[in-house]
Amino acid sequence: MNTPFNNYLTNLEKAAKILNLSEKETAALREPNKVIEKKISVALDSGEQKEFNAYRVQFNNARGPYKGGIRFHPAADISEVKALAALMAVKCATVNIPFGGGKGGVQCNPKELSAGELEKVARAWARAMADDIGVDKDIPAPDVYTTPEIMAYILDEYEKIKGRSEPGLITGKPIDLGGSLGRGTATAQGAVYVLEELIKMLGKEQGQLTVAIQGFGNAGYFAANILHNLGYKIVAVSDSKGGIYNATGLNPVEIMKIKEEQGSVTNAAGAQIITNEEILTCDCDILIPAALDNQIREDNTAAVKAGIILEISNGPTTPAADKILREKGVVVVPDVLANAGGVTVSYFEWVQNRMGYYWTEEEVFAKLKPIMVKAFQDIWRFAEEKKIALRDAAFILAVERIVKAMRLRGRV
Ligand code: NAD
C-alpha cells in the first residue's frame, strides 16, 4: 500500500542496498528512536472538556537535535507523523544542516476550533511535550494548519514551565518573537534556486518555459510569483476547489487577489477551468505539486506532459509513478531537496536565536542559495555518475551521512 511510511521504507531499502549497509544499520533507520503519544485535555468554549491525541515522533538525532513541524489535522495519526519524521531526517541530511528528524501533531479539526481553543490545544501540547523538546533536543516548527501564532503559544508555555528564555526552542515564530526574515518565502525560493540550477544543467533556455502549479497556498503561490518575475510563464494553478489553465499565461498576484476576494482561483475570468487531476497532465514544461501527497500515481503518470517535476509538497509521487516517469525521461526533483529551503531557513532562525543577533532578508537568502545549489550539484553529479534518479541519489547521500554519524557515535 502507498502509505507515506511505506514509500519512505521503499526508498530507504534501495539506498541501503546500494550503500551496502548492514542489517543493524538499516534496521536503525526503519523505526523512530522514540514515539511520544499522549492525551491532552482542553476546555472548549462550550464548557465541555475534550480530549485529543497528541504526538511527537523523534526519528533520528545522530546528526543533531530532532527537527520538524507540528501538524493539527483530523488525519494526523501516528503512522503519518512517523513518515514525516523520517523524511525530515533525510531532508536535513540532504541539505547537510546539523539536525536530525522529528515531527509532531494533534489529531483535531482546526476548522471547528475557535482561536481561543486552538491556543489551548497549543499550550496543552507544549505541557505534554515539555520534557522531550528543547533548543538542543528537539525543535518543532509549523506544518499543516499550524501558524507562527501557534508557535508563539508553544514557546510561551514552554518558557513558563522552564522558567527561562529559550527562543531557539521552536522555529517559524513571528518575527517579533525571534522569527527569521525570509522564512515565509524560503521554501518557494529554495525550490526556485534548485530549478534554475537544473535548467542550467539541462542546457535549457529559462525564458518562456511554462509552469503548472497544483496548490496555491504558502509554498505554491510564492513559487508562482518568483517564477513569474523571472520570466517563466505560469499556465495553470489550482486550489482545493479546482484549477485554471491559460496557455498565454496567468499573473499570480492577480489570481491571488481573486482567491482572497472570492474564495478560489477558479473564479478568475478568461481561463479554462480544469480539475486537480487535469492540472497534473496539462500542457506544460514544469509541473510543481505544492498541495498534497500521493498525487502522481501509477494510474495517471503516463499522461504527464511536463519534462520536469519540482516536488514542493511532501511525497506527491508514488514509487511506482517514479519508475514510469524515469522511463519517460521526466526529471523529478525530489521533495527532500526541492522543499528543503524551508527547514534551512528554520535552521538559520535557530542560529540567529542562539546568537541573539539577527540577519537582514538579503543576508538570509545570500546564505540559503549556496546551500541549495551545493545540495543540488552533489545530487546531480552523483545521479549522473551512477545513472540513477535524483531521488535515489538524494536518499543515498542523505542516508550515508546519517549512518556515518551513527557509526561515529558507536550506535550501529
Ligand atoms: P498551504 O496550506 O498554505 O497551501 C496548500 C494549498 O493546497 C492551498 O492552496 C489549498 O487550497 C491546496 N489544496 C488543498 N487540497 C487540495 C487538493 N485536493 N487539490 C489541490 N490543491 C489542494 O500549505 P503549504 O505550506 O503551501 O504546503 C503545501 C505543501 O508543501 C505541503 O505538502 C507541505 O508539507 C509542503 N511544504 C511546505 C513548506 C512550507 O514552508 N510552507 C515546507 C516544506 C514542504
Decide if 103 is catalytic.
Answer: yes
Topology of domain 31-168 in CATH is Rossmann fold (3.40.50)
Identical topology for domains 31-168 and 185-338? yes
pLDDT value of residue 227:
97
| Angle (CA) 150 179 157, round 5° | 40
Query: Residue 404 carries which side chain, given as an amino acid letter?
Result: K
pLDDT confidence band for 77 (50 / 70 / 90): confident
Rounded to whole angstroms, how far apart are CA atoms 178 and 168? 8
Residues 109-167 pLDDT 10s: 999 999 999 999 999 999 999 999 999 999 999 998 899 999 999 999 999 999 999 99
For a substitution probing ligand 1, which of 241, 292, 293, 335 has the most ligand atoms within 8 Å of its CB?
Answer: 292
Using a pLDDT cut of 90, give the percent of the chain over it. 93
CB 174 within 8 A of CB 148: yes
pLDDT value of residue 178:
98
Domain ranges of the chain: 31-168, 185-338
Considering 103, 120, 233, 259, which one is annotated as catalytic?
Answer: 103
Rounded to whole angstroms, how far apart are CA atoms 55 and 38? 6
Q: What is the mean pLDDT of residues 273-282?
A: 97
Rounded to whole angstroms, how far apart are CA atoms 174 and 85? 24
CB 91 within 8 A of CB 101: yes
pLDDT value of residue 165:
97
Distance between Cα 65 and ligand 1 center (Å)? 26
Residues 245-268 pLDDT 10s: 999 999 999 999 999 999 999 999
Q: Which three cell numbers stand for residue 319?
A: 514509487
As to burial, measured by CB atoms within 10 angstroms (0-12 exposed, 13-18 middle, 19+ buried), residue 50 is middle
pLDDT value of residue 161:
98
pLDDT value of residue 114:
98
215 lines ligand 1 (CB under 6 A): yes
**Nearest atom in ligand 1 to 264's CA:** 11
- pLDDT reading at 2 higher than 80: no
pLDDT confidence band for 80 (50 / 70 / 90): confident
Q: What is the mean pLDDT of residues 197-203?
A: 95
pLDDT confidence band for 53 (50 / 70 / 90): very high
Q: Is the pTM of this model over 0.85?
A: yes
Q: 50-55 — which CB contacts under 8 Å span 24+ positions?
A: 52/106, 52/107, 52/108, 52/121, 52/124, 53/77, 53/106, 53/107, 54/104, 54/105, 54/106, 54/107, 54/124, 54/125, 54/128, 54/129, 55/81, 55/104, 55/105, 55/106, 55/107
Our measurement of the distance from residue 341's CA atom to the centroid of its chain's CA atoms, rounded to an integer in Å, reads 9
pLDDT value of residue 318:
93
Q: Which three cell numbers stand for residue 338?
A: 526541492
pLDDT confidence band for 79 (50 / 70 / 90): confident
Write out the DSSP string of 301-349: GGG---SEEE--SSS-B-HHHHHHHHHHT-EEE-HHHHTTHHHHHHHHH
pLDDT confidence band for 292 (50 / 70 / 90): confident
- pLDDT reading at 207 higher than 90: no
Q: Which CATH number fits domain 185-338: 3.30.70.2340, 3.20.20.70, 3.40.50.720, 3.40.50.2300?
A: 3.40.50.720
171 lines ligand 1 (CB under 6 A): no
Using a pLDDT cut of 70, give the percent of the chain over it. 100
Q: What is the mean pLDDT of residues 54-83?
A: 94
Our measurement of the distance from residue 402's CA atom to the centroid of its chain's CA atoms, rounded to an integer in Å, reads 19
- pLDDT reading at 1 higher than 80: no
pLDDT value of residue 144:
85
pLDDT confidence band for 240 (50 / 70 / 90): very high
pLDDT value of residue 204:
87
Distance between Cα 186 and ligand 1 center (Å)? 14
CB 213 within 8 A of CB 234: yes
Q: Which three cell numbers stand for residue 309?
A: 517535476
**CA proximity to 186, closest of 351, 366, 70, 343:** 343
pLDDT confidence band for 23 (50 / 70 / 90): very high
pLDDT value of residue 22:
97
- pLDDT reading at 356 higher than 80: yes
Distance between Cα 301 and ligand 1 center (Å)? 21
336 lines ligand 1 (CB under 6 A): no
Query: What is the longest distance spanned by two Cα atoms in the chain?
Result: 63
